[in-house]
Amino acid sequence: MAEENGEEEVKKGKPIVKIILIVVGVLLLLGLAVGGTLFATGFFDPKPEEAAQAKIEQLQGEAAAAEKGAEVGPDGKPVEPKRVTKSTPDAEKFEYTYKEIERELLANLTNSRKVMQVQIAFMTRYDERVFKNVEKHEFAIRSVTLDVMRQITEDQLDRPEFRKERAEKIREALNAKLESLEDFGGIEEVYFTSFVVQ
């Protein structure tokens, strides 16, 4: 009889374990089904408002850079122009490119009746975007150059380094203007291709 009671207890214990395992399995399957459904429907994706705001900010950054004629990087910020290189066996050298302002510039000397007439050219080792920016802002470039020229007095003309110093001041002023308009200057040298004082 004792053996029969032991067998009955074993028989009673087995169905309870089976029921617990079935309940746990069903709950696990139900949880996986609910989680999969939520994932498939995009419940865990960023909210549409957040995604739309991020896309708007990216497009605004690209539009602002495009307005300035600059290339835009993946982060939406303008990319600086790259220097144009020459192929040489020994070292990397940069290619020089030049552009001359088409019209001559005419300015009075300070406290004098004399007039100075010059024509200038620019040199850069950067890509063509520098010259596109110069063409795009030609009026501002001409104005800045004339402002620098109007500060010249007759006495300064006799100094041996006058033209070199004046070209450097013009270069600094032009780069400052281009940086304020396009976030990049790029003019490395200014040359006088014509210089007349009368």
Which backbone phi and psi does 128 adopt, to 5 degrees?
-65, -10
Range 85-197 has CATH code 3.30.479.30 = yes
Res. 119 pLDDT band, cuts 50 70 90: very high
Q: Mean pLDDT across the stretch 111-118?
A: 90
CA–CA separation, 96 and 188 (whole Å) = 10
Comparison of pLDDT for 176 and 57, the residue scoring more: 176
CA–CA separation, 150 and 111 (whole Å) = 10
pLDDT of the residue at 15:
84
105-108/115-124 β-pairing: antiparallel
User: pLDDT tens across 53-110, in order?
Assistant: 777 777 776 776 666 666 666 666 667 777 777 666 666 677 888 989 888 999 988 8
Collapse the DSSP code of 184 into the 3-class scheme (helix H, G, I; strand E, B; otherwise coil) and give the result. coil
pLDDT of the residue at 14:
74
Res. 157 pLDDT band, cuts 50 70 90: confident
pLDDT of the residue at 9:
55
pLDDT of the residue at 88:
62
CA–CA separation, 118 and 56 (whole Å) = 47
